[in-house]
Chains A and B, each alone.
Chain A
Amino acid sequence: IAVLSYFILFQQRIEIHKLRQGDNLILGFSIGGGIDQDPTQNPFSEDKTDKGIYVTRVTEGGPAEVAGLQIGDKIMQVNGWDMTMVTHDQARKRLTKRNEEVVRLLVTRQSLQKAVQQSMMS
């Protein structure tokens, strides 16, 4: 049971309700990364060969910030779709589907990992 709980704690589920702005539905953050991008220029990843999608900016007061998304988070899934092996454009498309009002993200965060490791060691 302890092992399972650690697994869950490494990742966090965030639910963002899109905000309507004119003709667009916006989420209020920016993404970087992808399998067609250069992973060494990613300032947030611990492993510089990680080609996953990362949150690079969160607009203040936007739906993402309200939902608890933080800068540097790595997005693992969007609405059940895997985001660890997608191109940058595919990721953008999956996040900005017009017929979806809510997106459920599975993110992982380094600060989370470190907190768990510390509690494991103590």
Chain B
Amino acid sequence: MSAAMDTESTYSGYSHYSGHSKKAHRQGRDRHKSPRSKDGSRSEKSVTIQTPPAEPLLGNDASRAEEGQDDNWGETTTAITGTSEHSISQEDIARISKDLEDSVGLDCRRYLGLTVAAVLGLLVFLTPIAFILLPQILWRDDLEPCGTVCEGLFISVAFKLLILLIGTWALFFRQPKADIPRVFVFRALLLVLIFLFVFSYWLFYGVRILDSKDTNYQGIVQYAVSLVDALLFIHYLAIVLLELRQLQPMFTVKVVRSTDGESRYYSLGYLSIQRAALVVLENYYRDFTVYNPALLTASKSRAAKHMAGLKVYNVDGNNASGQSRAMIAAAARRRDSSHNELYYEEADHERRVKKRRARLVVAVEEAFTHIKRLQTEEQQKAPGEMMDPREAAQAIFPSMARALQKYLRTTRQQQYHSMESILQHLSFCITNNMTPKAFLERYLNPGPTLQYDRDRWFSKQWTLVSEEAVTSGLQDGIVFVLKCLDFSLVVNVKKIPFIKLSEEFIDPKSHKFVLRLQSETSV
């Protein structure tokens, strides 16, 4: 495999990378101790893939069995981000500990908020009913009889409460999508408003009606109706504050990923910084290509070479600041051919990727021609060797496996696709009558983060870093950073400019033309 890569590269500067991959391969082989992998010939490789036992593909210890049978798919743990295995394990520990301690604290806070809101909601909903029922229960005999008017009011109260219930359910009863660092200001404001409102109504009721045992039942029922009306208006206020206000776009937000510079623009309305961060993150998972640390190794090695190039020895022992500037100037002036290397390396890499891609497309197209869908009439007639999609996928997979694996290796995506996931995708494509190109769409280009397995995301726990308070609103020029362990997203907010639009009326009859001539006559 690596021998093939060496023969394809023509520029000697690439030997640095082939050296790395050779080491990785050797590590992989030694670790897994598969007897069949000692021979590096191509035909041997296809044989090893063709005989997987059925059990590990369906069972739960798939990862272990994959590593055991073929080192190609199990090479997910060799050097991804760090330079040695020690650094990887430390990062993993940091990640796990952060997950544990953060999840406990925030869950408590979230559930506290939810329970407070639920209790308040229930109280508010039952208040009008209580207002109407309490006089009946406590001093029924003294009440004035109240005929059709009261009954009409009862009906209106009932329907208004029903509408309020449905509206509250539609607006508020949702799965919380995220944990945000600070309290959601508008929601808290609304809860406080509702609480004060209902409290003042109860106060009035308690003092004026319960204590004095008012006998005008119609007045009491009208009081309850006014409460329900006011609650409906508060619900309207909630819709406007929570949902409608941020719909109109006011800001354009630029999001740049720090590791590779991929950037996107989004339009947002009046939001607080934490809610804007939430919107950006939701769109991040859909729009940005997945973070691939394997793609950064090239620039890191170049940076290492730059640093190793010039060494400065401090002989006298003082004047450090002047020295650093001299060092940078000397490094810049040094005749350095790394730009040349970069150019040839990139051209070479592109050529290799295109070649492998061509081989892959041909192999997949050929593999797909081996499968034919049976119509329902034919299914009774040809009972021999009928396969379901999973078996069909397993049958044609070996002929494209090597080409696919080589392509994934070249584009450094091999850790994002395990053999099991490829087989699943293949059977999915076969079931839905997809063409080879549709099957390959997933592998040819890196897709958004959502497309991949959760433990390959590198980005689940986010921290919002901001100079302004996170509950303050967005303004022009604000910059905040969304950090996760491996990379960060820098967000820059700009206001949409005030547009001055004026009108100009053109009469359709005013479109007239003349010929522009320049003739030459000889005399």
Chain B CB within 8 A of A82 CB? no
CB within 8 Å of A: which B482-523 residues: 516-523
Contact between chains at A38 and B518 (CB < 8 Å):
yes
Contact with B along A50-64 (1 / 0, CB 8 A): 000000110100000
The residue on A at minimum CB distance from B519 is A88
Contact between chains at A32 and B519 (CB < 8 Å):
yes
The residue on B at minimum CB distance from A94 is B523
Contact between chains at A30 and B518 (CB < 8 Å):
no
A30 to chain B, nearest CB (A): 4
Contact between chains at B520 and A30 (CB < 8 Å):
yes
A41 CB contacts on chain B under 8 angstroms: 516, 518
**Complex formed: what's the CA distance from A38 to B213 in Å?**
100
B412 to chain A, nearest CB (A): 59
Chain B CB within 8 A of A83 CB? no
Chain B contact residues, majority secondary structure = loop
Contact between chains at B517 and A38 (CB < 8 Å):
yes
B522 CB contacts on chain A under 8 angstroms: 26, 29-31, 57, 59
Contact between chains at A29 and B518 (CB < 8 Å):
no
A37 CB contacts on chain B under 8 angstroms: 517-519
The residue on B at minimum CB distance from A33 is B518
The residue on B at minimum CB distance from A88 is B519
Chain B CB within 8 A of A27 CB? yes
A95 to chain B, nearest CB (A): 5
CB within 8 Å of B: which A5-53 residues: 26-27, 29-32, 36-38, 41-42
CB within 8 Å of B: which A72-102 residues: 88, 92, 95-96
Q: Which of B516, B517, B521 has the most CB of A within 10 A?
A: B521
Contact between chains at A38 and B516 (CB < 8 Å):
yes
B518 CB contacts on chain A under 8 angstroms: 32, 37-38, 41-42
**Complex formed: what's the CA distance from A30 to B518 in Å?**
13
Contact between chains at A31 and B517 (CB < 8 Å):
no
**Complex formed: what's the CA distance from A42 to B518 in Å?**
8
A110 to chain B, nearest CB (A): 19
The residue on A at minimum CB distance from B522 is A30
Contact between chains at A88 and B521 (CB < 8 Å):
yes
**Complex formed: what's the CA distance from A31 to B516 in Å?**
17
B178 to chain A, nearest CB (A): 65
B523 CB contacts on chain A under 8 angstroms: 26-27, 29-31, 92, 95-96
Contact between chains at A57 and B521 (CB < 8 Å):
no
The residue on A at minimum CB distance from B521 is A92
B260 to chain A, nearest CB (A): 52
B517 to chain A, nearest CB (A): 5
CB within 8 Å of A: which B213-251 residues: none
Contact with A along B439-467 (1 / 0, CB 8 A): 00000000000000000000000000000
The residue on B at minimum CB distance from A89 is B521
A57 CB contacts on chain B under 8 angstroms: 520, 522
**Complex formed: what's the CA distance from A95 to B518 in Å?**
18
**Complex formed: what's the CA distance from A26 to B521 in Å?**
12
Contact between chains at B517 and A36 (CB < 8 Å):
yes
A88 CB contacts on chain B under 8 angstroms: 517, 519, 521
A31 CB contacts on chain B under 8 angstroms: 520-523
B516 CB contacts on chain A under 8 angstroms: 38, 41
**Complex formed: what's the CA distance from A57 to B516 in Å?**
21
**Complex formed: what's the CA distance from A29 to B522 in Å?**
6
B520 to chain A, nearest CB (A): 5
The residue on B at minimum CB distance from A27 is B523
Contact between chains at B517 and A30 (CB < 8 Å):
no
B520 CB contacts on chain A under 8 angstroms: 30-32, 56-57
What are 9 A-B interface contacts by the 8 Å CB criterion?
A: A29-B522, A30-B522, A32-B518, A37-B518, A37-B519, A38-B518, A41-B518, A57-B520, A92-B523
Supplied contacts A37-B519, A38-B516, 18 more A-B pairs, CB within 8 Å: A26-B523, A30-B521, A31-B520, A31-B523, A32-B519, A32-B520, A36-B517, A37-B517, A37-B518, A38-B517, A42-B518, A56-B520, A57-B520, A57-B522, A59-B522, A92-B521, A92-B523, A96-B523
Which 4 pairs across A and B sit closest by C-beta, in order of nearness? A38-B516, A41-B518, A30-B522, A95-B523
